Structure 1
Amino acid sequence: MLDSRIRPFIDPPLNRLGHWLALRGVRADWVTALGLALGLAAAAAVLGGFWLLALGLVLASRLADGLDGAVARASEISDFGGFFDIFADFVFYAAIPLAFVLADPAANGAAGAFLLASFYVNAASFLGFAILAEKARMRSDVQGRKSIYFSNGLLEGTETIIFFVALCLFPAAFVPLALIFASLCLLTAVLRVLAAARLFRRG
Protein backbone atom coordinates (compact mmCIF):
# COMPACT_ATOMS: atom_id res chain seq x y z
CA MET A 1 0.00 0.00 0.00
CA LEU A 2 2.85 2.40 0.81
CA ASP A 3 5.44 1.21 -1.71
CA SER A 4 4.21 3.34 -4.61
CA ARG A 5 3.91 6.39 -2.33
CA ILE A 6 7.50 6.33 -1.12
CA ARG A 7 9.14 5.39 -4.43
CA PRO A 8 9.33 9.02 -5.67
CA PHE A 9 11.37 9.86 -2.57
CA ILE A 10 13.70 6.84 -2.34
CA ASP A 11 14.24 6.01 -6.02
CA PRO A 12 16.31 9.07 -7.03
CA PRO A 13 19.08 8.60 -4.40
CA LEU A 14 19.03 4.81 -4.87
CA ASN A 15 19.31 5.20 -8.64
CA ARG A 16 22.24 7.58 -8.30
CA LEU A 17 24.06 5.20 -5.96
CA GLY A 18 23.15 2.22 -8.14
CA HIS A 19 24.53 3.96 -11.21
CA TRP A 20 27.75 4.79 -9.34
CA LEU A 21 28.17 1.16 -8.26
CA ALA A 22 27.34 -0.22 -11.71
CA LEU A 23 30.02 1.97 -13.29
CA ARG A 24 32.51 0.35 -10.92
CA GLY A 25 31.60 -3.16 -11.93
CA VAL A 26 29.32 -4.06 -9.02
CA ARG A 27 26.68 -6.57 -10.09
CA ALA A 28 23.10 -6.50 -8.86
CA ASP A 29 23.28 -10.16 -7.81
CA TRP A 30 26.15 -9.32 -5.47
CA VAL A 31 24.04 -6.64 -3.78
CA THR A 32 21.12 -9.08 -3.48
CA ALA A 33 23.42 -11.65 -1.86
CA LEU A 34 24.72 -9.00 0.55
CA GLY A 35 21.16 -8.06 1.49
CA LEU A 36 20.32 -11.71 2.14
CA ALA A 37 23.44 -12.16 4.29
CA LEU A 38 22.58 -9.06 6.31
CA GLY A 39 19.01 -10.30 6.75
CA LEU A 40 20.19 -13.67 8.05
CA ALA A 41 22.60 -11.86 10.37
CA ALA A 42 19.63 -9.83 11.64
CA ALA A 43 17.80 -13.08 12.39
CA ALA A 44 20.84 -14.33 14.30
CA ALA A 45 20.88 -11.08 16.29
CA VAL A 46 17.19 -11.58 17.14
CA LEU A 47 17.96 -15.11 18.28
CA GLY A 48 20.66 -13.74 20.55
CA GLY A 49 18.49 -10.93 21.91
CA PHE A 50 20.64 -8.14 20.45
CA TRP A 51 17.72 -5.94 19.46
CA LEU A 52 19.48 -2.76 18.39
CA LEU A 53 21.95 -4.77 16.32
CA ALA A 54 19.03 -6.66 14.77
CA LEU A 55 17.33 -3.36 13.96
CA GLY A 56 20.44 -2.00 12.24
CA LEU A 57 20.94 -5.19 10.24
CA VAL A 58 17.27 -5.28 9.17
CA LEU A 59 17.53 -1.71 7.86
CA ALA A 60 20.87 -2.41 6.14
CA SER A 61 19.41 -5.54 4.55
CA ARG A 62 16.44 -3.64 3.15
CA LEU A 63 18.71 -0.88 1.88
CA ALA A 64 20.60 -3.50 -0.11
CA ASP A 65 17.29 -4.94 -1.29
CA GLY A 66 16.33 -1.58 -2.76
CA LEU A 67 19.80 -0.94 -4.12
CA ASP A 68 20.10 -4.17 -6.11
CA GLY A 69 17.28 -3.07 -8.39
CA ALA A 70 18.93 0.31 -8.91
CA VAL A 71 22.19 -1.40 -9.89
CA ALA A 72 20.29 -3.68 -12.28
CA ARG A 73 18.51 -0.75 -13.92
CA ALA A 74 21.85 0.98 -14.41
CA SER A 75 23.40 -2.12 -15.99
CA GLU A 76 21.18 -5.02 -17.03
CA ILE A 77 17.91 -6.43 -15.71
CA SER A 78 17.92 -10.23 -15.94
CA ASP A 79 15.32 -12.91 -15.32
CA PHE A 80 17.65 -14.62 -12.85
CA GLY A 81 18.18 -11.34 -11.02
CA GLY A 82 14.42 -10.99 -10.54
CA PHE A 83 14.18 -14.60 -9.37
CA PHE A 84 17.10 -14.24 -6.95
CA ASP A 85 15.69 -11.01 -5.55
CA ILE A 86 12.31 -12.60 -4.80
CA PHE A 87 13.98 -15.70 -3.35
CA ALA A 88 16.17 -13.59 -1.06
CA ASP A 89 13.18 -11.53 0.08
CA PHE A 90 11.17 -14.61 1.03
CA VAL A 91 14.10 -16.15 2.91
CA PHE A 92 14.50 -12.91 4.86
CA TYR A 93 10.76 -12.65 5.57
CA ALA A 94 10.78 -16.19 6.97
CA ALA A 95 14.04 -15.89 8.93
CA ILE A 96 13.03 -13.01 11.21
CA PRO A 97 9.78 -14.55 12.55
CA LEU A 98 11.49 -17.94 12.84
CA ALA A 99 14.21 -16.35 14.97
CA PHE A 100 11.58 -14.96 17.35
CA VAL A 101 9.97 -18.40 17.59
CA LEU A 102 13.29 -20.15 18.26
CA ALA A 103 14.26 -17.50 20.83
CA ASP A 104 11.14 -18.25 22.91
CA PRO A 105 9.09 -21.18 21.52
CA ALA A 106 6.69 -21.30 24.45
CA ALA A 107 5.68 -17.65 24.20
CA ASN A 108 6.04 -17.02 20.48
CA GLY A 109 5.48 -20.41 18.87
CA ALA A 110 1.77 -20.25 18.04
CA ALA A 111 1.77 -16.62 16.90
CA GLY A 112 4.96 -17.20 14.92
CA ALA A 113 3.49 -20.24 13.18
CA PHE A 114 0.38 -18.25 12.26
CA LEU A 115 2.55 -15.42 10.94
CA LEU A 116 4.70 -17.74 8.82
CA ALA A 117 1.57 -19.46 7.46
CA SER A 118 0.14 -16.07 6.48
CA PHE A 119 3.39 -15.21 4.70
CA TYR A 120 3.15 -18.49 2.79
CA VAL A 121 -0.45 -17.83 1.72
CA ASN A 122 0.32 -14.23 0.76
CA ALA A 123 3.39 -15.30 -1.22
CA ALA A 124 1.33 -17.92 -3.07
CA SER A 125 -1.22 -15.27 -4.07
CA PHE A 126 1.54 -12.87 -5.12
CA LEU A 127 3.43 -15.36 -7.28
CA GLY A 128 0.26 -16.86 -8.72
CA PHE A 129 -0.93 -13.40 -9.74
CA ALA A 130 2.47 -12.67 -11.30
CA ILE A 131 2.26 -15.85 -13.41
CA LEU A 132 -1.20 -14.94 -14.70
CA ALA A 133 -0.13 -11.33 -15.33
CA GLU A 134 2.85 -12.53 -17.37
CA LYS A 135 0.57 -14.83 -19.37
CA ALA A 136 -1.74 -11.87 -20.04
CA ARG A 137 1.30 -9.67 -20.90
CA MET A 138 0.36 -7.17 -18.22
CA ARG A 139 2.94 -4.51 -17.38
CA SER A 140 3.19 -1.96 -14.58
CA ASP A 141 5.95 0.36 -13.38
CA VAL A 142 4.06 1.48 -10.26
CA GLN A 143 6.43 -0.58 -8.10
CA GLY A 144 9.41 0.33 -10.28
CA ARG A 145 10.81 -1.66 -13.17
CA LYS A 146 10.69 -5.34 -12.21
CA SER A 147 11.48 -8.65 -13.86
CA ILE A 148 8.04 -9.95 -12.83
CA TYR A 149 4.69 -8.28 -12.33
CA PHE A 150 4.33 -6.85 -8.81
CA SER A 151 0.67 -6.70 -7.78
CA ASN A 152 -0.04 -4.11 -5.14
CA GLY A 153 -1.79 -4.98 -1.90
CA LEU A 154 -2.79 -3.91 1.57
CA LEU A 155 0.62 -5.03 2.86
CA GLU A 156 3.76 -4.66 0.75
CA GLY A 157 7.48 -4.38 1.38
CA THR A 158 7.32 -1.05 3.20
CA GLU A 159 4.73 -2.29 5.69
CA THR A 160 6.76 -5.44 6.30
CA ILE A 161 9.88 -3.41 7.04
CA ILE A 162 7.91 -1.24 9.48
CA PHE A 163 6.60 -4.41 11.12
CA PHE A 164 10.08 -5.90 11.54
CA VAL A 165 11.38 -2.59 12.92
CA ALA A 166 8.52 -2.60 15.44
CA LEU A 167 9.40 -6.17 16.45
CA CYS A 168 13.02 -5.16 17.08
CA LEU A 169 11.97 -2.10 19.09
CA PHE A 170 9.24 -3.91 21.06
CA PRO A 171 10.23 -7.60 21.14
CA ALA A 172 7.99 -8.29 24.14
CA ALA A 173 4.99 -7.38 21.96
CA PHE A 174 5.77 -10.04 19.36
CA VAL A 175 2.56 -12.02 19.90
CA PRO A 176 0.00 -9.20 19.42
CA LEU A 177 2.03 -7.61 16.61
CA ALA A 178 2.39 -10.95 14.83
CA LEU A 179 -1.31 -11.75 15.14
CA ILE A 180 -2.34 -8.37 13.76
CA PHE A 181 0.14 -8.46 10.89
CA ALA A 182 -0.69 -12.08 10.01
CA SER A 183 -4.39 -11.24 9.84
CA LEU A 184 -3.66 -8.34 7.51
CA CYS A 185 -1.46 -10.62 5.39
CA LEU A 186 -4.33 -13.05 4.96
CA LEU A 187 -6.66 -10.18 4.08
CA THR A 188 -4.13 -9.01 1.47
CA ALA A 189 -4.08 -12.50 -0.04
CA VAL A 190 -7.89 -12.67 -0.15
CA LEU A 191 -8.09 -9.28 -1.87
CA ARG A 192 -5.50 -10.38 -4.41
CA VAL A 193 -7.43 -13.59 -5.14
CA LEU A 194 -10.58 -11.53 -5.69
CA ALA A 195 -8.67 -9.22 -8.03
CA ALA A 196 -7.34 -12.21 -9.93
CA ALA A 197 -10.85 -13.62 -10.26
CA ARG A 198 -12.04 -10.32 -11.69
CA LEU A 199 -9.16 -9.93 -14.14
CA PHE A 200 -8.38 -13.49 -15.25
CA ARG A 201 -11.57 -15.53 -14.90
CA ARG A 202 -12.18 -15.44 -18.66
CA GLY A 203 -8.58 -16.44 -19.51
Structure 2
Amino acid sequence: MLDGALRRRLDPVLDRLGAALAGRGVSADAVTILGLCLGLAAALLIGLGAYLPAAALILVSRLCDGLDGAVARASRKTDFGGFLDIVLDFTFYGAVPLGFIIADPAANGLAGGFLLFAFYVNGASFLAYAVMAEKRALTTAVRGAKSLYFTTGLAEATETIVFFLLSCLFPGWFPLFATVFALVCLYTALSRIVLARLTFRQD
Protein backbone atom coordinates (compact mmCIF):
# COMPACT_ATOMS: atom_id res chain seq x y z
CA MET A 1 0.00 0.00 0.00
CA LEU A 2 2.84 2.40 0.84
CA ASP A 3 5.31 1.20 -1.78
CA GLY A 4 4.19 3.64 -4.48
CA ALA A 5 4.58 6.76 -2.33
CA LEU A 6 7.90 5.58 -0.95
CA ARG A 7 9.27 4.72 -4.39
CA ARG A 8 8.53 8.20 -5.70
CA ARG A 9 10.73 9.63 -2.96
CA LEU A 10 13.51 7.03 -3.02
CA ASP A 11 13.84 6.18 -6.72
CA PRO A 12 15.75 9.34 -7.73
CA VAL A 13 18.34 8.71 -4.99
CA LEU A 14 18.54 4.97 -5.73
CA ASP A 15 18.90 5.65 -9.46
CA ARG A 16 21.92 7.89 -8.83
CA LEU A 17 23.53 5.30 -6.55
CA GLY A 18 22.69 2.52 -8.99
CA ALA A 19 24.26 4.39 -11.89
CA ALA A 20 27.41 4.96 -9.83
CA LEU A 21 27.65 1.26 -8.92
CA ALA A 22 26.98 0.16 -12.51
CA GLY A 23 29.71 2.53 -13.66
CA ARG A 24 32.14 0.73 -11.37
CA GLY A 25 31.21 -2.63 -12.84
CA VAL A 26 28.95 -3.84 -10.02
CA SER A 27 26.23 -6.15 -11.34
CA ALA A 28 22.60 -6.06 -10.25
CA ASP A 29 22.73 -9.79 -9.40
CA ALA A 30 25.66 -9.18 -7.03
CA VAL A 31 23.64 -6.51 -5.19
CA THR A 32 20.65 -8.88 -5.00
CA ILE A 33 22.78 -11.65 -3.50
CA LEU A 34 24.42 -9.25 -1.03
CA GLY A 35 20.96 -8.16 0.09
CA LEU A 36 19.98 -11.76 0.75
CA CYS A 37 23.19 -12.46 2.70
CA LEU A 38 22.55 -9.44 4.91
CA GLY A 39 18.93 -10.50 5.38
CA LEU A 40 19.91 -14.04 6.37
CA ALA A 41 22.48 -12.62 8.78
CA ALA A 42 19.69 -10.51 10.30
CA ALA A 43 17.52 -13.61 10.71
CA LEU A 44 20.43 -15.40 12.39
CA LEU A 45 20.91 -12.49 14.80
CA ILE A 46 17.18 -12.56 15.59
CA GLY A 47 17.46 -16.28 16.38
CA LEU A 48 20.31 -15.43 18.76
CA GLY A 49 18.32 -12.66 20.42
CA ALA A 50 20.40 -9.77 19.01
CA TYR A 51 17.41 -7.77 17.82
CA LEU A 52 18.82 -4.27 17.38
CA PRO A 53 21.79 -5.31 15.20
CA ALA A 54 19.32 -7.43 13.23
CA ALA A 55 17.13 -4.37 12.62
CA ALA A 56 20.13 -2.49 11.23
CA LEU A 57 20.97 -5.35 8.88
CA ILE A 58 17.35 -5.56 7.71
CA LEU A 59 17.49 -1.89 6.70
CA VAL A 60 20.74 -2.35 4.77
CA SER A 61 19.43 -5.55 3.18
CA ARG A 62 16.35 -3.78 1.89
CA LEU A 63 18.48 -0.90 0.63
CA CYS A 64 20.23 -3.50 -1.52
CA ASP A 65 16.82 -4.74 -2.65
CA GLY A 66 16.05 -1.28 -3.96
CA LEU A 67 19.51 -0.75 -5.41
CA ASP A 68 19.61 -3.91 -7.52
CA GLY A 69 16.83 -2.64 -9.75
CA ALA A 70 18.53 0.74 -10.06
CA VAL A 71 21.79 -0.94 -11.08
CA ALA A 72 19.91 -3.06 -13.63
CA ARG A 73 18.23 0.00 -15.12
CA ALA A 74 21.60 1.73 -15.40
CA SER A 75 23.27 -1.27 -17.06
CA ARG A 76 21.23 -4.18 -18.41
CA LYS A 77 18.01 -5.76 -17.19
CA THR A 78 17.75 -9.53 -17.58
CA ASP A 79 14.98 -12.06 -17.05
CA PHE A 80 17.28 -14.06 -14.76
CA GLY A 81 17.92 -10.97 -12.66
CA GLY A 82 14.18 -10.43 -12.22
CA PHE A 83 13.71 -14.10 -11.36
CA LEU A 84 16.58 -14.04 -8.83
CA ASP A 85 15.25 -10.88 -7.19
CA ILE A 86 11.82 -12.42 -6.55
CA VAL A 87 13.17 -15.76 -5.28
CA LEU A 88 15.66 -14.15 -2.89
CA ASP A 89 13.08 -11.63 -1.65
CA PHE A 90 10.77 -14.49 -0.70
CA THR A 91 13.69 -16.27 0.96
CA PHE A 92 14.34 -13.19 3.10
CA TYR A 93 10.66 -12.80 4.00
CA GLY A 94 10.53 -16.39 5.24
CA ALA A 95 13.84 -16.28 7.10
CA VAL A 96 12.99 -13.40 9.45
CA PRO A 97 9.85 -14.99 11.01
CA LEU A 98 11.81 -18.24 11.29
CA GLY A 99 14.42 -16.31 13.28
CA PHE A 100 11.77 -15.19 15.77
CA ILE A 101 10.46 -18.75 16.08
CA ILE A 102 13.98 -20.02 16.80
CA ALA A 103 14.57 -17.23 19.33
CA ASP A 104 11.56 -18.28 21.44
CA PRO A 105 9.66 -21.31 20.10
CA ALA A 106 7.20 -21.41 23.00
CA ALA A 107 6.13 -17.77 22.70
CA ASN A 108 6.54 -17.23 18.96
CA GLY A 109 5.96 -20.63 17.39
CA LEU A 110 2.22 -20.49 16.77
CA ALA A 111 2.08 -16.87 15.59
CA GLY A 112 5.23 -17.32 13.51
CA GLY A 113 3.80 -20.43 11.87
CA PHE A 114 0.54 -18.60 11.12
CA LEU A 115 2.52 -15.74 9.57
CA LEU A 116 4.56 -18.10 7.38
CA PHE A 117 1.29 -19.71 6.23
CA ALA A 118 -0.09 -16.26 5.35
CA PHE A 119 3.13 -15.35 3.51
CA TYR A 120 2.83 -18.59 1.53
CA VAL A 121 -0.78 -17.88 0.50
CA ASN A 122 -0.09 -14.23 -0.29
CA GLY A 123 3.03 -15.08 -2.28
CA ALA A 124 1.18 -17.76 -4.24
CA SER A 125 -1.59 -15.31 -5.15
CA PHE A 126 0.95 -12.71 -6.22
CA LEU A 127 2.96 -15.08 -8.43
CA ALA A 128 -0.08 -16.84 -9.90
CA TYR A 129 -1.59 -13.47 -10.83
CA ALA A 130 1.68 -12.48 -12.49
CA VAL A 131 1.70 -15.69 -14.55
CA MET A 132 -1.87 -15.15 -15.75
CA ALA A 133 -1.19 -11.49 -16.50
CA GLU A 134 1.83 -12.46 -18.60
CA LYS A 135 -0.30 -15.01 -20.47
CA ARG A 136 -2.73 -12.23 -21.37
CA ALA A 137 0.06 -9.75 -22.18
CA LEU A 138 -1.09 -7.36 -19.44
CA THR A 139 1.33 -4.67 -18.32
CA THR A 140 1.54 -2.23 -15.44
CA ALA A 141 4.02 0.39 -14.23
CA VAL A 142 2.27 1.08 -10.93
CA ARG A 143 5.40 -0.04 -9.03
CA GLY A 144 7.90 1.07 -11.67
CA ALA A 145 9.50 -1.05 -14.36
CA LYS A 146 9.43 -4.66 -13.15
CA SER A 147 10.30 -8.04 -14.62
CA LEU A 148 6.80 -9.35 -13.93
CA TYR A 149 3.31 -8.02 -13.30
CA PHE A 150 3.01 -6.44 -9.84
CA THR A 151 -0.38 -6.22 -8.16
CA THR A 152 -0.80 -3.86 -5.23
CA GLY A 153 -2.29 -4.68 -1.84
CA LEU A 154 -2.42 -3.84 1.85
CA ALA A 155 0.69 -5.93 2.58
CA GLU A 156 3.58 -4.90 0.35
CA ALA A 157 7.32 -4.58 0.89
CA THR A 158 7.18 -1.36 2.92
CA GLU A 159 4.58 -2.69 5.36
CA THR A 160 6.54 -5.93 5.73
CA ILE A 161 9.76 -4.10 6.57
CA VAL A 162 7.96 -1.88 9.09
CA PHE A 163 6.53 -5.01 10.71
CA PHE A 164 9.97 -6.65 10.87
CA LEU A 165 11.55 -3.53 12.38
CA LEU A 166 8.80 -3.13 14.98
CA SER A 167 9.22 -6.79 15.91
CA CYS A 168 12.96 -6.24 16.40
CA LEU A 169 12.38 -3.13 18.50
CA PHE A 170 9.65 -4.80 20.59
CA PRO A 171 10.38 -8.56 20.38
CA GLY A 172 7.99 -9.39 23.19
CA TRP A 173 5.15 -8.16 21.01
CA PHE A 174 6.05 -10.41 18.08
CA PRO A 175 3.10 -12.83 18.58
CA LEU A 176 0.59 -9.97 18.38
CA PHE A 177 2.38 -8.20 15.52
CA ALA A 178 2.72 -11.46 13.57
CA THR A 179 -0.94 -12.41 14.02
CA VAL A 180 -2.18 -8.99 12.88
CA PHE A 181 0.18 -8.90 9.92
CA ALA A 182 -0.76 -12.45 8.92
CA LEU A 183 -4.41 -11.35 8.77
CA VAL A 184 -3.39 -8.36 6.63
CA CYS A 185 -1.53 -10.71 4.27
CA LEU A 186 -4.52 -13.04 4.00
CA TYR A 187 -6.80 -10.09 3.27
CA THR A 188 -4.36 -9.00 0.54
CA ALA A 189 -4.43 -12.49 -0.96
CA LEU A 190 -8.24 -12.58 -0.84
CA SER A 191 -8.51 -9.19 -2.54
CA ARG A 192 -6.11 -10.41 -5.23
CA ILE A 193 -8.29 -13.48 -5.80
CA VAL A 194 -11.32 -11.22 -6.24
CA LEU A 195 -9.34 -9.04 -8.65
CA ALA A 196 -8.30 -12.14 -10.60
CA ARG A 197 -11.91 -13.27 -10.84
CA LEU A 198 -12.85 -9.92 -12.35
CA THR A 199 -9.80 -9.66 -14.63
CA PHE A 200 -9.43 -13.22 -15.89
CA ARG A 201 -13.03 -14.26 -16.38
CA GLN A 202 -13.82 -15.70 -19.79
CA ASP A 203 -15.69 -13.42 -22.18
Structure-2 separation of matches of 1:5 and 1:97: 26
TM normalised by structure 1 equals 0.99
Read off the aligned partner of 1:93 and give its amino acid letter: Y
Superposition deviation, residue 109 in structure 1: 0.6
Q: State the partner residue of 2:135.
A: 135
Q: Give a deviation string over 1:20-57, Cα, whole Å, max 9, x none.
A: 11111110000000000000000011011111100100
Structure-2 separation of matches of 1:174 and 1:7: 27
Q: Which structure 2 residues correspond to residues 51-70 of structure 1 after superposition, within 5 A? A: 51-70=51-70
Q: Give a deviation string over 1:113-165, Cα, whole Å, max 9, x none.
A: 00000000000000000001111111111111111111111110000010001
Count residues in correspondence.
203
Q: Which structure 2 residues correspond to residues 12-91 of structure 1 after superposition, within 5 A? A: 12-91=12-91
Q: State the partner residue of 1:94.
A: 94
Q: State the partner residue of 1:104.
A: 104
SS at match of 1:144: coil
Superposition deviation, residue 6 in structure 1: 1.2
Structure-1 separation of matches of 2:183 and 2:171: 19
Matched, 1:122 2:122: yes
Q: Give unmatched runs, 5+ long, in structure 1.
A: none
Q: State the partner residue of 1:10.
A: 10
Superposition deviation, residue 176 in structure 1: 0.4
Q: Give a deviation string over 1:73-104, Cα, whole Å, max 9, x none.
A: 11111111011000110000000000100111
Q: Which structure 2 residues correspond to residues 144-155 of structure 1 after superposition, within 5 A? A: 144-155=144-155
Structure-2 separation of matches of 1:138 and 1:18: 28
Read off the aligned partner of 1:110 and give its amino acid letter: L
Structure-1 separation of matches of 2:108 and 2:154: 25
Structure-2 separation of matches of 1:80 and 1:13: 25
Structure-2 separation of matches of 1:58 and 1:140: 28
Structure-1 separation of matches of 2:102 and 2:168: 15
Superposition deviation, residue 61 in structure 1: 0.3
Read off the aligned partner of 2:118 and give its amino acid letter: S
Percent of matched pairs sharing the same residue:
58
TM normalised by structure 2 equals 0.99
Structure-2 separation of matches of 1:161 and 1:4: 15
Read off the aligned partner of 1:40 and give its amino acid letter: L
- Indicate the RMSD between aligned Cα atoms, in angstroms: 0.8
Structure-2 separation of matches of 1:119 and 1:182: 7
Q: Give unmatched runs, 5+ long, in structure 2.
A: none
Runs of 4+ deviating beyond 4 Å: none
